[in-house]
Amino acid sequence: MDNKAQLQTLEGLGAALLITMTVVIITQSATVMTPQHEMMLDVQFEQMAYDALTLLDVAPSYAIGPNLTECVSAWDMKGATMDNSTLPLLDNALSLLLPGFLYNVDVSYVQNGTLITKNTILQGYPTEDAAVARRTVMLTNSTVTAAKGKWSLASDELQMVEVKLTVWQV
């Protein structure tokens, strides 16, 4: 019988066992982020954004301050700068509904045949996992007058405005 190379084989087996054990322990203890997990988080995030806008739109005006139409009616038609929002009522309502989130709000509307989009709340630049929600409101002369806004609408004119909310977390 050949007695050479005996030790190397045993060492090799021992090493293989050690490596295998390490791999097993690491994969068992680490939480694996599967695509399903991420999908649920995205759904949750987008749902929160849509809920916030829906709630503001259907809410009676005394429940959480002014509702979405009243907030947009009160707009002074100016664009926002960083942390200097031009829709303070909406900013206040959203900060209560979405604590711990950052958000931007854009409004889009058509005037004299051209589409105008302006930023009205600017809190920064969204990260890549941000969610977007949209809601359309209809303004009339009377809603604007009641909210003391700067929209110039004739008494029989309807103005559709799309409110786009971008929400993210840091």
Q: Tell me the C-alpha distance between 74 and 71, whole Å.
A: 5
Measuring CA to CA, which residue among 4, 170, 158, 129 is closest to residue 69?
Answer: 158
Counts for the chain of helices (H) and strands (E), in that order:
5, 4
Measuring CA to CA, which residue among 112, 108, 121 is closest to residue 52?
Answer: 121
Residue 92 binding another protein, by CB under 8 A: yes
Residue 36 binding another protein, by CB under 8 A: yes
Residue 146 binding another protein, by CB under 8 A: no
Residue 90 or 109 having the CB closest to another protein: 90
Question: At closest approach, how far in Å is the CB of 86 from another protein?
Answer: 16
Question: At closest approach, how far in Å is the CB of 145 from another protein?
Answer: 17
Residue 37 or 150 having the CB closest to another protein: 37
List of residues 6+ apart from 167 with CB closer than 8 A: 45, 48, 49, 52, 98, 101, 102, 103, 130, 131, 132, 133
Applying the rule CB under 8 A, the residues between 42 and 81 that interact with another protein are 43-44, 47-48, 51-52, 54-55, 58-60, 62-65
Would you tell me how many other CB atoms lie within 10 Å of the CB of residue 2? 5
Residue 39 binding another protein, by CB under 8 A: yes
Contact window for another protein (CB under 8 A) among 69-77, 90-98, 108-116, 159-167 = 90-98
Contact criterion met (CB below 8 Å) for 150 and 76: yes
> For binding to another protein (CB under 8 A), which residues are involved?
13, 20, 24, 27-28, 31-32, 34, 36-37, 39-40, 43-44, 47-48, 51-52, 54-55, 58-60, 62-65, 92, 96-97
